A and B are shown apart, each in its own frame.
Chain A
């Protein structure tokens, strides 16, 4: 019999493909956070850090200086495999392969996860001025569709990570089939 692969249980983190969110990278690439992942049974942390050069530099610096790993090795901390990608052309597949998504509060990322019926934590970027992201995160949390974390903070995110394990989230209703079609026909 072929040896069965140990079941992968992945957390996918996306910081936004165009504008990166350094605070989110610092929060998840952290010993204490990764230890909590391990305790909760996750064994892979996949991070989409964004296309900007700064984002790659920050990712590598966190791997080396905060987690004390070597960049040319397989990145393992506490039995959790860490993988970083700048940008995925098929982010939906990344989400499908994951048990949990931790995302910035952009509508695109929120919809990607909720439409694929994945558990989602959004971390609000409190450094952004004129911040609609907090409003969106709040509305979605009010609907029971996701949990939000008001700022990129390790302790706060760990609490929410534990909370979401036992939280029953609501499925985001699909758009009504022919709303737009009926409107187009009226024009």
Chain B
């Protein structure tokens, strides 16, 4: 083969890969598709992953979960907790005991993405660290979750993007349910703005937010 034809071959290959990746991204990024609200399957046997953030996020998450009947029908729940967040672990224990769900006690430790008040520069570094640490914990799971449910702590961002990438690569097929915190009345949180594009359903708890964000759904206060 001449040098020219080798070059042509690689160029063609590059176009093919770029095209395939573009199509795959289009297919897998929820923003490009209409939200489906049809009932597809029952909760029975499904694997749920729930992110417990620090502070008020954890409290709100348990309030959200408390409104779901038949949680016990789920196949599994994997709880993601930031390392060092002992308060969330205590709250989790209380929740599991109160709801008779002690069988769902699988906890995954994630390193924390961004501390309140941290500078932008050091935020980027700690977010990267968090991403690598999350990647390691997630890849060691036996099976990937059907649904990832988050409600907006900083750690939600690397976790959601990690599953987007794994979905694009065909490793996982995890849907993302994002519920914005009740504290957000007129503006989404930074996590919310970053996860808006890649969440399969994006819920807010104040109606004003749906006018700015077309894909945001308001179904009343959920906590």
Interface residues of A (CB under 8 A from B): 18, 106-108, 111, 132-133, 135-136, 138-139, 172-173, 175-187
Contact = CB atoms under 8 A, between A and B. Distances in A.
Contact of B43 (A108, A111, A175, A184): A184
Q: Chain A: interface secondary structure?
A: helix
B67 A175 contact: yes
B177 A187 contact: yes
A14 to B, nearest CB: 13
Between A18, A173, A182, A184, the greatest number of chain B beta carbons within 10 A of the residue's beta carbon is seen for A184
Contacts of B42: 185
B185 A186 contact: no
Contact of A187 (B181, B201, B219, B221): B201
A44 B221 CA distance: 33
B221 A181 contact: no
Interface string B195-223: 00000110100100000000000011111
Contacts of A135: 185-186
Nearest to B64: A180
Q: Chain B: interface secondary structure?
A: loop
Interface string B171-202: 00001010001111110000000000000110
Nearest to B54: A18
B181 A186 contact: no
B56 A108 contact: yes
Given A136-B182, A139-B206, A181-B69, A173 B175 contact: no
The 5 closest A-B pairs by CB, nearest first: A187-B175, A135-B185, A108-B59, A107-B182, A175-B67
B200 to A, nearest CB: 6
A184 B147 contact: yes
A129 B28 CA distance: 38
Contacts of B220: 173, 175-176, 179
A187 B43 CA distance: 10
Given A175-B67, A175-B220, 16 more contacts: A106-B56, A106-B183, A108-B60, A111-B59, A132-B183, A132-B184, A139-B185, A175-B222, A177-B67, A178-B68, A179-B67, A183-B177, A185-B41, A185-B42, A185-B43, A187-B175
Interface in B128-147: 146-147
B13 to A, nearest CB: 36
A48 B70 CA distance: 36
Interface in B29-78: 36-43, 46, 48, 55-56, 59-60, 63-64, 67-70
Nearest to A139: B185
14 contacts: A106-B56, A107-B60, A107-B181, A136-B182, A136-B183, A138-B185, A139-B185, A177-B67, A180-B222, A183-B203, A185-B40, A186-B39, A186-B201, A187-B40
Contacts of B67: 175-177, 179-180
A172 B182 contact: no
